[in-house]
Amino acid sequence: MTPAERIAELRRLIRHHEERYYVLNEPEIADAEFDALMRELERLEAEHPDLVTADSPTRRVGGRAAAAFPTVEHAEPMLSLDNAYSEEELRAFDDRVRRGLGADEPIAYVAELKIDGVSIALTYEDGLLARGATRGDGVRGEDVTANIRTIRAVPLRLGSGGHLEVRGEVYLPRRAFERINTQREDAGEPLFANPRNAAAGTLRNLDPALVATRGLRAFLYQLVGAGRPEAPVRLDTHAETLDLLRRWGLPVEPHWQRRVGVDELVAFCREWDEKRRTLDFDTDGVVVKVDRLAERRLLGATSKFPRWAIAFKFPAEQKTTLLRQIAVNVGRTGAVTPFAVLEPVVVAGSTISMATLHNADDIARKDIREGDWVIVEKAGDVIPRVVGPILSRRPPDSVPWRMPTTCPRCGAALHRPEGEVVWRCENTSCPAKLRRGLEHFASRSAMNIEGLGESLVAQLIDRGLVRDYADIYALRAETLANLTSTSVRGDGKTIERRFGEKNAAKVIAEIDRSRTNELWRLIYGLGIRHVGERAAQVLQDAFGSMDALEAASIDALQQTREIGPVLAESVRSWFDEPRNQQLVERLRAAGVRMEVPAETRAARRAEGPLTGKTYVLTGTLAAMTREEATAAIERLGGKVAGSVSRKTTAVIVGADAGSKAEKARELGVPMLDEAAFLALIKVQ
C-alpha cells in the first residue's frame, strides 16, 4: 500500500470512529487504538506534506489564536422561535397553523428536543467545511470556524458536494461541564454557571487548542433552503431532512419523532418532561415544527419568528426557601432594580442564592417582603426568579417593602420617569453607573477588551484611576501591575493575587488594539439607551462616522431603516448632553476610530436603479420575509426606513398592514401592494 493509499485509509477509519463515538455514542475501538490511528496519520502527513488536505482529521486542532472574531453576514436571517409555556399555548399554536393552512384535518409535525446550547451555521463548499458562524443578532454572527473544526462530531467533509448551509446547536455534555468546573475550581478560577454558558464561552475562546480540550458536541437539524426549487437537494418534509443529515454523517439528536395532531405533540412533551434528566445534555423544552416544507412556505414568518415552529418550554422546577433581603442594583443606564438575596437552594441542578424581582411594582403586586418564605424557580430553566410568597409562613412582624428614595451608591435622589416602571439614578458621576457602563464598554460584544473585567474595573474606579471611558486609554502597564486580581473558589473563598507585569501588559495591548475597532462597537459601547448591537451596526452603515451621527437630526435618524422614533429620540438626547460630547472628543483624542474607513464605505456603497430612494415596509408579504424584501431593495441601491415621512419614496403594504399605511395616506406618500413591489424589484 502506497503512503497516499494508507493516508486515505486512515482518514476514512478515523472519520468512521469519530462518528461512532461522537455522533452515535457507540464506539467500536478503545481510545488507545483511536489515538494510534491518529498518530500514524500525523507521522505519514509529516513525511509527505504534499498529501496533506484541508479536511484531514489532523487539521482540526492547531493554528494560532485569532486576535478577534470577524463578523460575517448570514445567507438568511437566523430567526428566533416563539415560546409556548403550557399545553394550552401549544394547542393555540396548532389552531393558528391550521387556520393559516385552511386545514380541518390534523397537521403532521416533527418534535425535537430543544438543546440548551449555542446556535451555529455551518457552510460547506464542494463537500468541505468552509465556515462556522454563531447566530449573533440573527443577521450577523461571529466567524468561529477554527473552533468549530475542533468539534469531532462535526465532519470536515460531507457526503454531499455543492454549496450547503446546515444549522444546529453546539452544546457541552454534563460530564464535560463538571470536569471543566472541577479544573477551574482547582485553579482558583470562577466557575461556569451552567453548561450553556460554558459552551458559549468556549466557542468564543481565542485559542482553538484550548477549545479542543473542552469536549464540545453538536447536533444539527436544519438544511437551509431545503424544499425550494433552487435547493441542492429536493426534499418534501423535515423528517426527510433529518434523515438526510444523518446519512451525510452529521450528528442529529436521535429522539425526534414525527407526530400527527396536537394530542400526539402534547403526549411527547409530557413524556420528555419526565425523561429529560436521564440525558447527558441539558434540554429545556421541545421544538415543534410543521413537517411538510411546502406548508411552511405558505405559513411564512413574522419579522422575529417563523409561523410554522414553536418552542414548548418545560414547566420550571420550583423550590421553597427563605428570602433574607431585598437589595437593589444600579445598572449602567442608572436603572435601579431590586433583587432577592436568598437562603441558598438547589433548583434544576444548580445552587441559587439570588433571584430577580423585576421592579418595585411587581414586588408590591405580589406582596413580597423580606423574611418571607418564597417559591423560586428558573424561568426557562435559566434565570432564577421569585414566584411569590407563602403567606401562611409569613412572620407576624413583617412589613411591606419600600423602594429606596436615594441611590445606594452615590446618595442621589432616585426618579421614576412618567409612564415607566423603572426608577433611575440621574447622577452622571454615580460610581455604580460608571462601573456597569465601563464593564459594558469593555465587554466582548462592545469594545472587546479582554482582561478588563469586573474586578479590575472596580479597582480602577475605587482608586480614582478611571472617571470615564476615555480614561482607560491613558492607563499604563506599571499602574495595572500593582493592582490585584481576584477569583472565587467553589467553596465561596476569595483568592487574591497581584495583577503582575505580564497580565498588565496583556490588558494594555488589548486596550491599544480596541482603538481600531469597527465604529459600531464604539457606538454600542457608549451605552446609549435602546441602542443594541444591531441598532449600532445600522447607525454605522447609515452615517459612516461619529461626526455625522452626532450631527444627525431626529428626522434623519428616523429615516434610517430599523430606527424608530423612540430610538431616534434616545440617540439625539444622548448627543445633546455636553458631558457626552466631551467624552466623544476625549475618545477621539485618545486615537479611537471614529469613522468607517473610506475603502470599506466604497465597498458597501450599492449603486443601482433605486439609488437615492427610500422605502418603508409594513404588513406581511406572502412571497418573501421582510429581511428578504429589505435585501432586495438594498441590492438595487435603495434604502429601507423604519418610519414614514414626506421624504419616503413609497410604502410597500403587505397583509395586516399597520399604522405606517395610515401615515402614508395622511402624507400622500405612494403605496405599493405586493404585486407592484415584486414588479418593481423584478424589472429593475
Q: Which of 114, 289, 313, 639 is catalytic?
A: 114
From 563, 547, 82, select the one nearest 309 (Cα to Cα). 82
| Rg of the chain taking only CA atoms, in angstroms | 27
Report angle CA 580, 586, 587 to the nearest 5 degrees: 90
Interaxial angle between packed helices 626-635 and 674-683, expressed in degrees from 0 to 180 and rounded to the nearest 10? 30
* SS3 call for 77: coil
Positive or negative CA dihedral for 222, 225, 231, 236?
positive
Task: State the maximum Cα–Cα separation within the chain, in Å, rounded to a whole number.
Answer: 87
- End-to-end Cα distance, the chain: 60
Dist CA 575 CA 392 (whole Å):
53
Amino acid 419 reads G
Q: Show the cell assigned to 261.
A: 395532531
The residue ranges of DSSP E strands in 252-368, in sequence order, are: 257-260, 283-290, 309-313, 318-330, 335-347, 350-356
625 closest CA partner among 334, 328, 396, 304: 304
DSSP letters along 548-592, please?
A: HHHH--HHHHHTSTT--HHHHHHHHHHHHSHHHHHHHHHHHHTT-
Which helix H or strand E contains 500, and what residues bound it? helix 500-514
User: For residues 668 and 138, what is the distance between their CA atoms, to the nearest angstrom?
Assistant: 35
Is 319 marked active-site?
no
Write the CB contacts of 222 (distance below 8 Å, at least 6 apart in sequence). 166, 167, 168, 241
Residue 7 C-beta-side C-alpha neighbours within 13 Å: 19
- Listed in sequence order, the residues at least 6 apart from 663 whose beta carbon sits closer than 8 Å to its beta carbon are 643, 644, 669
Nearby residues of 73 by Cβ (< 8 Å), 6 or more positions away: 139, 140
Which three-class secondary structure state does DSSP give residue 486? strand
Cα atoms in the 13 Å half-sphere on the side-chain side of 167: 19
Closest CA to 592 of 545, 543, 530: 545
526 in helix, strand or coil?
A: coil
Cβ atoms 374, 340 nearer than 8 A: yes
Distance of CA 674 to the CA centre of its chain: 32
- Cα–Cα dist 318/312, whole Å: 18
Closest CA to 559 of 637, 642, 495, 480: 642
Strands (E), 481-562: 484-488, 494-498
Nearest to 246 by CA among 162, 311, 130, 166: 166
Cross-strand pairs, 258: 110
At 435 the three-state DSSP class reads helix
Euclidean distance between CA atoms 556 and 407, whole angstroms: 36
E-state strands within 610-662: 614-618, 639-641, 650-653
350-356 and 335-347 strand pairing: antiparallel
Active site residues: 114
